[in-house]
Amino acid sequence: MIIVLTGASSGIGRAAALALAEQGHELAIVGRNPFRTHEVARETGGTAFLADFDKLADVRQLARELLATYPRIDALGNNAGGILAHRALSADGVERTWQHNVLAPFVLTTSLMPRLVESRARVVFTGSEANRWGAVDVTNPGRDGKLWLRGMPAYGAAKRADIMLARELARREPAISSFAFHPGAVATGFAGLDRSPLAPLIRRVIRTPERGAATLIGLLDGTLEAPSGTYFVDERRDTGLAAQALDPAECAKLWDALEVQAAALA
C-alpha cells in the first residue's frame, strides 16, 4: 500500500509510520520540521514531504507533489494538528487551531479526492474524546468573543469537526472508506506533555505513542474494519458521539462551509 501520513515526524504519527514500514508499506512522511521529517523518512524508507499547515499554499503544494509522485494513494492519515494555549491567527488569517486541525486537512483531502476515489482509498482523521465538549459553529469557527480557556473548547470543536468530516466524506464518496478515532492520552510532545515537570509521572499513567498509534495503524492498513464513517475509541466502535456529530445535516453544513472558506483563501 501507498500511505500518506501527516504529522508523521513525531508522536503517534512517527510510531504509526515505523510500524507500517515494518509491514512493507510505502510511506509519504509529511511533517513541518525538516530534520525530524527527513529522519523518519530515513527510518521508514519513505519519502519526506514538508508542509506547514499554517499556510494553505503549503498544503496545496503538498497535494500537487503527492499527485505528481504517486499514481495511486491507498490510504491518507490526517493526523497533523494540535492544541494551542493562546489564541493566534495563521498566515492565512484563520484561527490556528481550526486551520491546523480542520481546514488544512480538508484542503489536502479534497485536493487529493480524484486520486483517492480512483484508488478506493482509506481516509483516517485523528479525532479526540475532547469532541464531547466542543460544539462546531461554522459561522464562528475561531470562537471570536468566546472564552479561550487555554484552547480546550477550540480544540474540542476542531476534533468534533474532524469526526463530522469523516462521516460526511463517507456519505459523499462511497468509493472511499473514511474513519475517525481517538488515540487516548499519549505521552508525546502534543500539548507539551513531554516538557512538563511531571513528565516522568505522566508517562506512568498514560499510554505510549506506540499504544496510541494502534488504532491509526489498523485503520490505515485495513486490519481494523467497520462501516465507513465509523468513529473508534481504543480499536472499538464508539456510539456515544454528541448529537451534532451524528446529525447528517450538521455534517453536510460543515463540509459546505469549509468549501466556501477554502475557496476564499485560494
What pLDDT is stored for residue 232 in this prediction? 94
pTM for the full model?
0.91
* Residue 66 grid cell: 503527492
37: containing domain: 2-264
Tell me whether residue 70 is one of the annotated catalytic residues: no
The CATH code of the domain that includes 114 is 3.40.50.720
What pLDDT is stored for residue 183 in this prediction? 86
Q: Which residue has the cell 460526511?
A: 168
- Total structural domains within the chain: 1
Cα distances from 158 to residues 57, 121, 175, 177, 266, in angstroms, run: 21, 23, 25, 21, 21
Name the residue type at position 192: G
Task: From the candidates 155, 179, 190, 231, give the one annotated as an active-site residue.
Answer: 155
* Residue 41 grid cell: 523518512
pLDDT, tens only, 17-69: 999 999 999 999 999 999 999 999 999 999 999 999 999 999 999 999 999 99
Q: Do the beta carbons of residue 28 and residue 46 sit within 8 Å?
A: yes
